[in-house]
Structure 1
Amino acid sequence: MELAQVRLFVTDFTACYRFYADVLGLKPQSGAERGPYEKFSPDTGSAGIALQDRAMMAELLGELGHPVTGHRSLVVLRVDGLDAYCAQITARGATLLHGPRPMTDRMRVAHLADPEGNLVELQEWLLPRA
């Protein structure tokens, strides 16, 4: 398992992009200043902070991504064998809120909440990262 990122759901994508790039000085991965997604990396370490357009997440997650009542962030963990991992954690008491299912042609995801209600995304990459 690998901590891939902490993802923030944002409404004003450009303003948040400018904050993380210009104010905090984190390096954008692709330069997608208008979204709908961008990952920022610190100078050291492998995990980063990502911004995700809230409307896009609402389409995928429904109520979990709702602009007012939905989550504002999630922790992303990359796993190998998503179905098997989900079976293991549900046997240990986890309740999946969504998935496993495709998110893009490159990955499958599942979502669950921790005991405090924080959203966790489990990712299985289907294609190697560029």
Structure 2
Amino acid sequence: MDVTQIRLIVSDFPVVYRFYRDVIGLKPQFETENGPYVAFKPDLGSTLALHSRAELATIIPDLKPGDGDNTLVALRVDDVDEYLAELTSRGASCTDPVVLDGRIKVSYLRDPEGHLLEIQQWLATRTGAAVPPAS
């Protein structure tokens, strides 16, 4: 089995699409500001995709809206502070970074529909091995 992507179901596709492309800085595999689907493939790791709630509701009639707190998308960067400066310059509002377990520095923000994102920087691995670059 292979986990091919994490997909967020969104109501306002153009707004959320522009957030991930323009604020977060992910590159879409193809341009489609009006959806109904797009995938963003980062330099490393899993694909993050957006799918129009309206289109999925035609296939899944009992599709229910979520509150954004049932999932968390973690994005790893080489330098949290540097990336947060970029995000805030693009209009994002992020929590102050904190260090957890002495191994990971994190900050949190929400996309325009309330999905929770974690921006993380690995400071040390569990095994003590060198931390690989995020990009």
Larger Rg, first or second structure (1 or 2) = 2
Normalised by the length of structure 2, the TM-score is: 0.47
Normalised by the length of structure 1, the TM-score is: 0.48
